[in-house]
Amino acid sequence: MKVLANDGLAKGGIIALEKAGFEVDLTTVSQVQLIDYINKNNVAVLLVRGATKVRKDIIDNCPNLKIIGRGGVGMDNIDVEYARKKGINVINTPAASSHSVAELVFAHLFGLVRFLHESNRNMPLVGDSKFNDLKKSYAKGIELRGKTIGILGFGRIGQATAKIALGLGMKVVAFDPFLEGATLELEFFDHQTVFFNIKTISKEEVLKQSDFISIHVPAQKGYVLSSKEFEMMKQNSFIVNASRGGVIDEIALVKAIENSKISGAALDVFEKEPTPEIQLLMNAHLSLTPHIGAATAEAQDRIGTELASQIIGFFNTKK
């Protein structure tokens, strides 16, 4: 049984699949050649991440496909319902990268409130000639402890983000249209645990109460945050989007920053990936990363082994 991991697969997943008798093909096949390659090589399982798109053309023209797997959470690049109607099993790994994304949120937040995103640009340029000027420019940082973080979307990643916030001494408020709340378990290095009960509130209240907003929602038809929402937010608040491009109105965000309503924002995802708007890339109030939320060694290993486990389980039930 052949598995094509077109966008790569961590070593742990490869080992688990090969041990179970699967042949793992790590060839990166171009989108236009993918149908022919799958059929010529009798591929039964196609694994992708964000780069490869699995649309109706592949689903209709690759009759031997039994599983389409997405290494990660979102499946925007797969026609999921259509594949399932055609009898193809579609899987993903929603839990594997939650903590990695949550840590990136706080990497951005720590950088924003202490101006690291600007300092790291300017110190190499003028750190030797304008050291004292830079010191004065970046001397008005704030602490996260004691502040309120609002989480829009309180699923796995939102909850993982909340756990880190609670560990830092922040207040957590959350909105989720499908959840009334959640009990969060914080486990420490010595195996002590503390439980927190977080009840969700309205989106409007989250926006009004929060010093920081972190977005963790699936792809949407419209914006989650635009001019109307920015006006509801606290003066000089911050925003982080490590969920999906297109859930923030980026033009309105830049205007809100220029008008000093929003102090700054962090974006790991963009409306126009892989070519974000130049006005975002050049804005000194933005902390930017190129969609790397799940890109840690630990997360990739969990993704690989979780995909392998689901694939092995699926074919075992068919025996």
**How does residue 17 score in pLDDT terms, banded at 50, 70 and 90?**
very high
Q: For 215, which DSSP code?
A: E
180: its two tokens: 């009334």
What does the CA dihedral 281, 285, 291, 296 come to, rounded to 10 degrees? 130
Residue 167 has pLDDT above 70, yes or no: yes
| Mean pLDDT score, 84-92 | 97
CATH label, 98-288, candidates 3.40.50.720, 3.30.450.20, 3.50.50.60, 3.40.50.620? 3.40.50.720
Residues ≥6 apart with Cβ < 8 Å to 274: 290
**Predicted local distance difference test score (pLDDT) of residue 268:** 98
Question: What percentage of the chain has pLDDT greater than the value 90?
Answer: 95
**Cβ 271 vs Cβ 247: under 8 Å:** no
**Predicted local distance difference test score (pLDDT) of residue 319:** 67
CATH number assigned to the domain covering 2-94+297-318: 3.40.50.720
**Predicted local distance difference test score (pLDDT) of residue 219:** 87
Backbone angles phi, psi at 247, to 5 degrees: -95, -10
CA max distance for the chain: 71
**Predicted local distance difference test score (pLDDT) of residue 44:** 98
- The distance from CA 269 to its chain's CA centroid, rounded to whole angstroms, is 8
For residues 307 and 10, give the distance between their C-alpha atoms in angstroms, rounded to a whole number.
10
**Cβ 149 vs Cβ 165: under 8 Å:** yes
**Predicted local distance difference test score (pLDDT) of residue 234:** 97
Strand pairing class (237-241; 43-48): unpaired
For residues 4 and 68, give the distance between their C-alpha atoms in angstroms, rounded to a whole number.
10
How would you class 282 by CB atoms within 10 Å of its CB: exposed for 0-12, middle for 13-18, buried for 19 or more? exposed
For the question of residue 49 being annotated catalytic, the response is: no
For the question of residue 306 being annotated catalytic, the response is: no
Residues ≥6 apart with Cβ < 8 Å to 10: 300, 301, 303, 304, 305
Q: Which is more confident, 98 or 219? A: 98
Q: If we measure between CA atoms, which residue out of 55, 75, 62, 68 comes closest to residue 35?
A: 62
The pTM for the full model equals 0.91
| Mean pLDDT score, 51-72 | 96
Per DSSP, what are the bridge partners of residue 67? 45, 89
| Mean pLDDT score, 49-70 | 96
Out of 244, 250, 285, 302, pick the active-site residue: 244
154: its two tokens: 């309180």
In whole numbers, what is the pLDDT of the chain averaged over residues? 96
Segment 119-166, tens digit of pLDDT: 999 999 999 999 999 999 999 999 999 999 999 999 999 999 999 999
Out of 23, 114, 277, 291, pick the active-site residue: 291
Whether residue 274 has a cis bond before it, omega within 30° of 0: yes
**Predicted local distance difference test score (pLDDT) of residue 318:** 76
**Predicted local distance difference test score (pLDDT) of residue 24:** 98
114: its two tokens: 């202490």
Segment 227-281, tens digit of pLDDT: 999 999 999 999 999 999 999 999 999 999 999 999 999 999 999 999 999 999 9
- The distance from CA 271 to its chain's CA centroid, rounded to whole angstroms, is 14
**How does residue 81 score in pLDDT terms, banded at 50, 70 and 90?**
very high
Residues of the chain with CATH 3.40.50.720: 2-94+297-318, 98-288
For the question of residue 114 being annotated catalytic, the response is: no
Strand pairing class (237-241; 262-267): parallel
**Predicted local distance difference test score (pLDDT) of residue 94:** 87
For residues 317 and 281, give the distance between their C-alpha atoms in angstroms, rounded to a whole number.
49
Q: Give the CA angle between residues 182, 243, 45 to the nearest 5°.
A: 100
**Residue whose entry in the numeric block shows the structure tokens 């974000």:** 276
Out of 18, 231, 273, 298, pick the active-site residue: 273
284: its two tokens: 């000194």
Strand pairing class (89-92; 67-70): parallel
